[in-house]
Structure 1
Amino acid sequence: MAEKPEPVRVLYCQMCGLPAEYCEFGPDFEKCKPWLIQNAPDLYPDLLKEANDKQAEKVANQLQAVGISSSGDGGGVREGQADSSGSNAASKPEEVKRLPGGKIKKKDKQEVVIEKIVRNKRKSITVVKGLDLFGVKLSDASKKLGKKFATGASIVKGPTEKEQIDVQGDISYDIVEFITETWREVPESAIFFIEDGRKVPAA
């Protein structure tokens, strides 16, 4: 006699009410994240990694703050310390390392970074970071990207609390052309892709 199939159990998010795997398409994914990390870590492994990276960054910043305050009167000027002793130069790359996905360097560097993220081996999201550094209004850019590629596009806070545009689907194939044609102030030489954890020029 054939076994009776088990009923499918759906895990619903306590924040937005959607099934957990659809939270990212809901009205406020940011509010769902803490609940998902606790209750559905296997659905969103990226969130778990992001939370761990944030924790590591917090600890690193605390240690760095202690190191600066204990260095005496000259502790306020980090650049001066780097000139006088090469040992402190190793702490500078930390700014770059602390970004898990985008790896955007210093905040004053003007560049647009595009990264394709695949979730659950089937959902793709194209992340666009840095347009605001060229004076582009992100809300305007989000609407134009969504309209051009007939998909959902939203502004979210990235791992470093900087705003980025998340576009549903893989649009990396002709997004560079669209960006340079729509916003003339963004040169193609300033656009980069993240491939296998490395930053590759789009040009």
Structure 2
Amino acid sequence: MAEKPEPVKVLYCPTCSLPAEYCEFGSDFEKCKPWLIKNAPELYPDLLKEADEKEAERVSEQLHSVGISSIGADGSASSVQSGETSSSKQEEVKRLPGGKIKKKVRQEVVIEKVVRNKRKSITIIKGLELFGIKLSDASKKLGKKFATGASVVKGPTEKEQIDVQGDIAYDIVEFITETWPDVPETAIYFIEDGKKVPAA
């Protein structure tokens, strides 16, 4: 007579309610990670390694904040000058994955006139959002002021910009500085013959 097989015990995640081995396919894997590390580390060994690296990083940051740069094999701690610590922290912030240095985004509004079909002009305005201006509101105001169509679209670099029908470059600087006083005239530029020219 065949022996009755033992029922399989399934470990369910309390966060996403899926079996633990399917958590990575759930809606929010990040929230499941702490529970998985504690209760099912054998299913996700990479998570354990990631957690160890984060812990090591956290400890080194704490040491930096109190002025200790490293702990030697003999247990002696070497200290760092506070000036060095802050500069190294600033350097860490600016670096992107792969060691590339992140460029600080300059707050500027760029206005470009594009002629389509040899007749139609479109004035493109980029960078208003850097001054805390909601682009949808700005496009409505521009459309109303110049009695034309204005819409928020994604540009070639996937950044949002405002496209205004017609050539409104002649009045646009004055309108921007009057409507949004946070935008200084010195931060507005025109694109002329492929070159950036200050509006002021």
* TM-score where L is the length of structure 2: 0.50
For 2:133, the equivalent position in structure 1 comes to: 136
For 1:201, the equivalent position in structure 2 comes to: 198
Find the partner of 1:126 among 123, 128, 136.
Answer: 123
Deviations 1:45-89 (A, max 9, x none): xxxxxxxxxxxxxxxxxxxxxxxxxxxxxx83224xxxxxxxxxx
Cα distance between partner residues in 1 of 2:192 and 2:134: 26
For 2:98, the equivalent position in structure 1 comes to: 76
Cα distance between partner residues in 2 of 1:186 and 1:154: 20
Residue 148 (structure 2) pairs with residue 151 (structure 1): yes
Cα distance between partner residues in 1 of 2:176 and 2:137: 12
Identity %: 83
Aligned residues: 104
Structural mapping, 1:34-183, within 5 Å: 76-79=98-101, 108-183=105-180
Runs of 4+ in 1 over 4 A off after TM superposition: none
Q: Give RMSD over aligned pairs.
A: 1.6
Cα distance between partner residues in 1 of 2:100 and 2:126: 28
Cα distance between partner residues in 2 of 1:121 and 1:188: 31
Structure 1 residues 107 and 150, CA gap change in structure 2 (3 angstroms): farther
Cα distance between partner residues in 2 of 1:107 and 1:169: 33
AA in 2 matched with 1:196: D
Structure 1 residues 149 and 111, CA gap change in structure 2 (3 angstroms): same
Structure 1: unaligned runs, 5 residues or longer: 1-74, 80-91, 93-105
How far did residue 120 of structure 1 move?
A: 1.1
Cα distance between partner residues in 2 of 1:124 and 1:76: 41
How far did residue 107 of structure 1 move?
A: 6.5
Greater Cα radius of gyration, structure 1 or 2: 2
Deviations 1:135-178 (A, max 9, x none): 00001000000000000000000010000000000000010000
Deviations 1:100-130 (A, max 9, x none): xxxxxx5711000000000011000000000
Cα distance between partner residues in 2 of 1:166 and 1:107: 25
Structure 1 residues 148 and 107, CA gap change in structure 2 (3 angstroms): farther
Q: Which has the higher contact order (CA 8 A, sep 6+)?
A: 1
Structure 2: unaligned runs, 5 residues or longer: 1-96
Cα distance between partner residues in 1 of 2:196 and 2:167: 18
AA in 2 matched with 1:161: E
